[in-house]
Structure 1
Amino acid sequence: MMAEPLAKPRRKNPLERTQQPLLPPSARSRKAHGLTLAAASGRFMIQCCDECGRYTYPPRDACPHCLSADLAFRDAQPSGVLLSETRIEVTSDPYFREHMPWRTGLVKLQCGPVAVVHMHGDCGGPGSELLLSLQLDRAGQAVLFAKPLSEMPHMEDDRQWRELTADPKHRRVLITDGRSPMALPLAASLSKAGAAKVFVGIADRWKPFATKTALEAIEGVELVELDLTSERAVQDLAMDIGAKVEILVNTADHVRPAHLFDAAAAGTARETLDQTVMGMMRLAQAFGPIMRARGADGATGAVAWVNLLSVHALSSAPQFGIQSAAHAACLSLSQWLRGELRQGGVRVINAFAGPLDTEWYQTLPAPKVAPKTLADAVVDGLKRGLEDIYVGDVAKDIEARLFDNPKAVEREAGQ
């Protein structure tokens, strides 16, 4: 059975009650969060015993084959064979009661274990081969999901799949800083992905900027007044379009190289923090409660908040120390925000990138990240339901080295 294309949603009746967000069961053991780590970045990892070399599922403290406690999460073959399937029609769980019927199956993983998985509507019957992935559900916990091996039309519109992703199709998006070099490629990528509307915030709209004409030429784009340094401006926009925004992409940045011992460094830091950290705080206070309340608002309810961050939020770059410190603060703030928005089933996505190929990073050597590459990665992350996205060689290298030896990354920074 092929998935039906998602129809454009009807305009909501303002007199109807907004459905309250409900979350799927979220209780997990500490060991099970190894699956959460893998799902957040789009990897398929399950426990593998270092003694006997056999994979095991679900996560546990000791190997069921040899009783060894050396169980590490390792990449595994993301495929399996369907043994049996169940179409659940009745449940006592409040979240799943609103999403019945729900298709599940018992799958023999290619690497050995047998697991219960959520199933895409296009999956075949018992004996069929399936492609598996680890996904984050609305409660932010990892679950197994199965799809057919081969692509089929409208697969991304499957009802159960959309519950585990943040696909922008037919959704309305706010890009917070239209003067950012990321605004134009993001607006183009989101429009191509089927976004119903892309609001682009512009501070001081009377001031010209290079990409204004190109932005206005994209179908579905609307420029709106938004100054992240003004609490009043952010609140006014939230009152105007807050109930329409299902995905918010925070592109605010303020790149100004400065030496720590420079006399003007404190002033530069103050401006950067006001634009980034305090700007994000103002956005969270204005748009956060509305998005959290709309987490279950129909097929296109609020689903995601995206922060574009420098990978040096994880490891400071001395030549861009102020930006590194500001983005590190934004990362901490995003984790706070994640805890608040999770109550409404809205995910917070952090996209970490190395130096962009823009004028502020002119003196840095390659490799650099093209703005379009970052924009496409963000849209891909939304479609796949990721939580952490690493874009570019520098970001991926720092991610891998931080897992290996954080002190080595710290010592080698700026060399």
Structure 2
Amino acid sequence: MTRPLQPPVRRDPLRRTPRMTLPPAQRGRVALGMAAAAAEGRFALQVCADCARVQYPPREACVACSSSRLAWREQGGEGVLLANTRLAHSNDPYFRERLPWRVGMVRLDAGPCVMVHLHGDVADPGPPGPASRVRVLARLDRAGAPVLLALPLEETPHMHDDPMLREMSSDPRYRKVLVTDGKSATGQALARALVEAGAERVWLGCAEPWKRAPGLEALSALPQVTPVELDLGDEGSVRELAARIGGKVDILLSNAEYLRGGGIESPRGTLNARSEMDLHYFGLLRLAQAFAPALRARAADGVAHACAWVNVLSVYALANYPPQGTYSASMAAALSLAQGLRAQLRAGGIRVLNVFPGPIDHEWNQELPPPKLAPRALAAAVVAGLRDGVEDLYPGDVAQEWRERWRADPKVMEHELAMQGGMP
């Protein structure tokens, strides 16, 4: 059985911080379909459109009928463990530092046999006992490549503390987190959810701390929560905080938002657009320049190493929402920057999670009709996304609908929004 994770011991400051080594990342282009599904926490395999044969490993043509009409389809993942072994030696630096490593072969109920990493609580297969039933998940490893994990069918005690599973996730337990906007309802909900998930410390960024924010005093009374001065519009403020705590942050959560409403033709459109771009795009850029180097440097620093960067964006980043045209444009710019940040941090073993909520239920969205996403629901989704090791998250009904419409045809969605006056 998996042993419970113990709080990390205080690191000797005189010892050199270990450098991150990455797992092998070479994959063919056809396998990127599995990576795209794993980035959202889905397990997908190719299915032949002609003979319905499920394929593994990914390939260009069906193994049964040679058809090239292969489409990615989500799978249930249940199957039987056929064989397993524990690797005690590896020539690869990444696995050599993490031995022993358990792997196995699973025959999926869908048909194919797959190679998997095995959770420590999965029983060995074969006689005299019954065959071990498992559920297979697709995850992204530290290099961003898709891998398959086999877990027990039922939840086990301390399941999330398994070393292999933690390698494929960014569990907040025993980690230190910076939430950049602690005054908003969203930021405070995120802080509470992180504390409940076992975070050792949560720093709450507060611009203009002399302004009292509802709920902040009660939240600051929690022993794990520490308010800090942070103004993403001020490069000096960002760099000063990075100098103080940048070497301690394990998860950075960028959630600052400027939303005043109004389309491009609004009388205050230019002023709002400048403020939105300065916070959403340039604020993220200031954060990246100040905090990203230290985050990368600590990606292998013990069991609670630096692991993730979270950007709370908006589903309007995918397609412009005309009643909030400049806000949508600033979120689209922030998304482009976040994708570039992901590519750079991935080389250091740090995950970037982009979150695309629909309208959040706060004062600046009070005129919008429901459904709106409650801050606590957004916070719960972010914590779950960190534990699942995903890259893209669409919490809430509106976000899920927008994602499906955008994937079906972005141009059709653009015309729909224009014709309907932008109403979701």
Residue in 1 that maps onto 2:408: 404
**In structure 2, what is the equivalent of residue 258 of structure 1?**
262
Matched length: 414
Q: Determine if the alignment matches structure 1 residue 301 to structure 2 residue 305.
A: yes
| 1:10-409 superposed matches below 5 A | 10-126=9-125, 127-409=131-413
- The alpha carbon displacement at 1:408 in A equals 2.0
Per-residue deviation, 1:374:
0.2
**Which residue type is aligned with residue 68 of structure 1?**
S
The alpha-carbon deviation at position 18 of structure 1 amounts to 0.5
CA–CA distance in structure 2, aligned partners of residues 236 and 219 of structure 1: 23
Residue 128 of structure 2 is matched in structure 1 by: none
SS in 2 for 1:249: strand
Question: Whole-Å Cα distance in 2 between the matches of residues 89 and 16 of structure 1?
Answer: 27
- Aligned-partner Cα distance in 2 for 1:150–1:261: 55
Q: Give deviations 1:388-411, integer Å, cap 9, x for gaps.
A: 111111100011111212122111
Matches of 2:362 and 2:347, distance apart in 1: 37
SS in 1 for 2:111: coil
Identity %: 49
* Deviations 1:65-111 (CA, angstroms, capped at 9, x unpaired): 00000010001121111110010010100111100110000111110
Q: The residue matched to 2:35 in structure 1 has which SS?
A: helix
User: Structure 2: which amino acid aligns with 1:54?
Assistant: R
- Supply the AA of the counterpart residue of 1:72: A
Shift of 1:259: 2.9
Task: Encode CA deviations 1:185-227: one digit per residue, 9 max, x unaligned.
Answer: 1111100000000000111111111121122133300001111
- The farther-off stretch of 202-211 and 288-297 is 202-211
How far did 1:21 drift?
A: 0.7
Distance in structure 2 (CA, Å) of the matches to 1:10 and 1:113? 44
What TM-score do you get using the length of structure 1 for normalisation? 0.98
Amino acid at match of 2:43: F
Paired residue for 2:4?
5
Q: How far does residue 133 in structure 1 lie from its aligned partner after superposition? A: 0.4
Distance 2:317 2:263 in 1: 17
Report deviation, 1:340.
1.0
Query: Given that residues 187 and 218 in structure 1 are in contact (C-alpha distance below 8 angstroms), is that contact kept between their aligned partners in structure 2?
Result: no
Task: Map Cα deviations across residues 141-173 of structure 1 (whole Å, 9 max, x no partner).
Answer: 110001000111100000000000000000000
Determine the C-alpha separation between the residues in 1 that align with 2:212 and 2:197: 28
The two structures have a TM-score, normalised by structure 2, of: 0.96
Question: After superposition, what is the alpha-carbon deviation per residue over 1:296-352, rounded to whole angstroms, capped at 9, x for unaligned?
Answer: 111111110001111000011111111111111111000110011111110000111
Alpha-carbon contact 2:264-2:324 (below 8 Å) kept: no
Contact 1:188-1:218 within 8 A present in 2 as well? no
Contact 1:183-1:251 within 8 A present in 2 as well = yes
Is the contact made by 1:191 and 1:219 (CA closer than 8 Å) also made in structure 2? no
CA-CA distance at 1:30 after TM superposition:
0.8
Q: Does the 8 Å CA contact 2:254/2:312 hold for their aligned counterparts?
A: yes
What RMSD, in angstroms, separates the aligned Cα atoms of the two structures?
Answer: 0.9
Deviation of 1:263 after TM superposition, in Å, equals: 4.1
